[in-house]
């Protein structure tokens, strides 16, 4: 794993943020994770260089700027073009999956119901993307 690997979680659900951060702390304690509660806040943090992540986990359904709008805005930022984005959402709609892939998302995960399943998913994705997938 790359030294100083960082990820960015963009999700308006505070409970989901806490679960993600807790699981990340267990499966990959050396990884630093930044958070934003919507796409607009995330774009602001990226534009002002408050955050330069190696990997982005993105929810779709958020206020102010949703995940699809974020993907469009992010594609216009030079610093975002090479950052893999993984959709992490409650929706399993096939049209959303295809649309987000067309907008540049590399992966699409439906949020699991069980805490233990979060760990497996996060560990798998962090391992895959931190090794240069």
Residues 59, 20: contact at Cβ < 8 Å? no
Please give the C-alpha separations between residue 69 and each of 41, 63, 98, 120, 129, in angstroms, as whole numbers.
Answer: 12, 11, 15, 28, 23
**What is residue 126's predicted lDDT score, i.e. its pLDDT?**
86
Quick one: pLDDT band at residue 132, thresholds 50, 70, 90?
low
Q: Which secondary structure element, helix H or strand E, spans residue 8, and what is its range?
A: strand 6-10
Residues 35, 51: contact at Cβ < 8 Å? no
Q: Is 120 helix (H, G, I), strand (E, B) or coil?
A: helix
Domain boundaries, the chain: 6-130
CATH for the 6-130 domain, from 3.40.1360.10, 3.40.50.2300, 3.30.70.20, 1.10.10.10: 3.40.50.2300
Q: Which two tokens stand for residue 36?
A: 């934003």
Cα 110 to chain centroid distance, Å, stands at 12
Question: What span, in angstroms and rounded, lies between the C-alpha atoms of 96 and 32?
Answer: 29
Q: Does residue 28 have a pLDDT over 60?
A: yes
Q: Does residue 133 have a pLDDT over 70?
A: no
Please give the C-alpha separations between residue 61 and each of 29, 34, 124, in angstroms, as whole numbers.
Answer: 28, 19, 24
Question: What span, in angstroms and rounded, lies between the C-alpha atoms of 106 and 100?
Answer: 9
Average pLDDT taken over every residue of the chain: 88
**What is residue 74's predicted lDDT score, i.e. its pLDDT?**
92
């Amino acid at each position: 794993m790359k030294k100083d690997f960082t990820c960015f979680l963009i999700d308006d659900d505070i409970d989901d943020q806490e679960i993600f951060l807790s699981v990340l702390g267990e499966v990959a304690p050396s990884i630093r994770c930044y958070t934003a509660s919507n796409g607009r806040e995330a774009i602001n943090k990226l534009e002002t260089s408050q955050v330069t992540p190696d990997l982005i986990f993105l929810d779709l359904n958020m206020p102010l700027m949703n995940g699809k709008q974020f993907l469009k805005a992010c594609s216009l930022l030079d610093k975002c073009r090479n950052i893999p984005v993984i959709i992490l959402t409650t929706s399993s709609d096939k049209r959303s999956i295809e649309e987000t892939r067309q907008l540049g998302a590399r992966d699409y995960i439906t949020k699991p119901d069980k805490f233990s399943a979060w760990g497996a998913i996060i560990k798998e994705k962090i391992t895959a993307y931190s090794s240069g997938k």
